[in-house]
Amino acid sequence: MTTSTPLSTGTGPLAGVVVVDLSRALAGPQTAMMLGDMGARVIKVEAPGTGDESRGWGPPFVGPDEAPESTYFLSCNRNKESVTADLKSPEGVELLTRLVRHADVLVENFRPGVMDRLGFSAAHLHALNPHLVILSISGFGHDGPQGGRAGYDQIAQGEAGLMSLTGPDPDRPTKAGVPIGDVLAGMNGAYGVVSALYERERTGRGKVVRTSLIASIVGVHAFQGTRYTVAGEVGRASGNHHVAIAPYGLFRCDGGAIQVAAANDAQWLRFAEVADLDTADPRYASNALRVAHRDELVADIERALAKGSAAHWLALLDTAGVPAGEVRTLDQVYDCPQTRSQGLVIEVDHPSLGTIELPGPAIRFDDGGRARHLPPPRLGEHNESVRAWLHGLEPAPRLTA
């Protein structure tokens, strides 16, 4: 297959860094995409014929019937090149060996032990390239009593306690609306890789970086974690209201709802004045009292807000300096001028889909960062160009029978 998009010689803080992406689905691809967003050249190695399993995750699929594209795959594979290789074949082993010799980073999210069985243990990878930073993402960690356990996002959300904190009440545990464990693991992976690359500047050697879905979810328990580890309280789902701050949540008004976050007494007093609530009510004299009387407070607030629409209250609260907002659908988010002003929607030219819009990176630089984003690649799109690049660095060794 010939190359239809240029090689990933991007600009940005990671320009010149070469990443070999052996991962699939979401956590590993998220890491590699973030590194690509920062200017790294990312070479995604996929199984011939099928590729990353997320290429088949849908609907929705878009594009021509003979070559449909999964929007799931499109979400986490921009700024990459795709080569195909059977890592159990001599040719695949030879290709990966050559890529490793010239890479700065390798990303994988196989189950623990798979890389060893493929003949690419961490020790062997570092024998090939002592400067290589190796990122290994797993479901439950690489060691411990459940270290070899397979993990997918929703399983991890349940096992790591997130579902018990999410939902309308303790009896209805609810998953997050996005694969948050995968995305967090990908973000932690990128953070770990960049840290290891920085350390390599001092030591000259790469190292192994590990994270997991369960670690990434436990790592964002925030106040719910210390609520248990320090105070001995087990947090449970509390719907759309904060368990430690009031008023802080979703409130019904005429024809809709708004969200209000009065995180201190000054904001509470301004909010109460706007909504014509009794600021002298002893039940609401402090945050602790407002939390203790939350049900009564919510009822009082919603009776007051029923006198006006969401737009009415949002305008008044904005003028008063009270944090508030609406609940938007995704079409409203992506069409919002503020979203687009932050670079959160980018255009890429896809070889079969034409010009498409993708969610953009969350980090911006004052010099503009990466000048041009590449579309998620078709399977094997860069087979020839990547092999030609490797041949220019070193002629391919002759395979022995």
What are the strands, taking DSSP E only, across 213-338?
A: 248-253, 256-261, 324-325
Task: Say which residues have a Cβ less than 8 Å from residue 336's Cβ, sequence separation at least 6.
Answer: 328
Would you call 182 a catalytic residue per the annotation?
Answer: yes
Q: Which long-range contacts (CB under 8 A, 24 or more apart) does 144-147 make?
A: 147/112
Q: What is the 3-state secondary structure (H, E, C) of 222-237?
A: CHHHHHHHCCCCCCCC
Residues facing 156 on adjacent strands: none
Of the residues 21, 153, 182, 300, only one is catalytic, namely 182
Torsion of CA 138, 139, 140, 145, to 10 degrees: -80
Unique residue bearing structure tokens 């010149």: 16
What is the distance between the alpha carbons of residues 285 and 169, in angstroms, rounded to a whole number? Answer: 27
Find out whether 151 and 140 touch, Cβ atoms under 8 Å. yes
Instruction: Specify the pairing of strand 133-138 against strand 208-212.
Output: parallel
What is the distance between the alpha carbons of residues 88 and 110, in angstroms, rounded to a whole number? Answer: 14
Find out whether 131 and 205 touch, Cβ atoms under 8 Å. yes
User: Other CB atoms closer than 10 Å to residue 286's CB: what's the count?
Assistant: 12
What is the distance between the alpha carbons of residues 290 and 282, in angstroms, rounded to a whole number? Answer: 9
Element (H, E) at 18: strand 18-21
CA angle 115, 15, 20 (to 5 degrees): 15
For the annotated catalytic residues, the residue numbers are 182
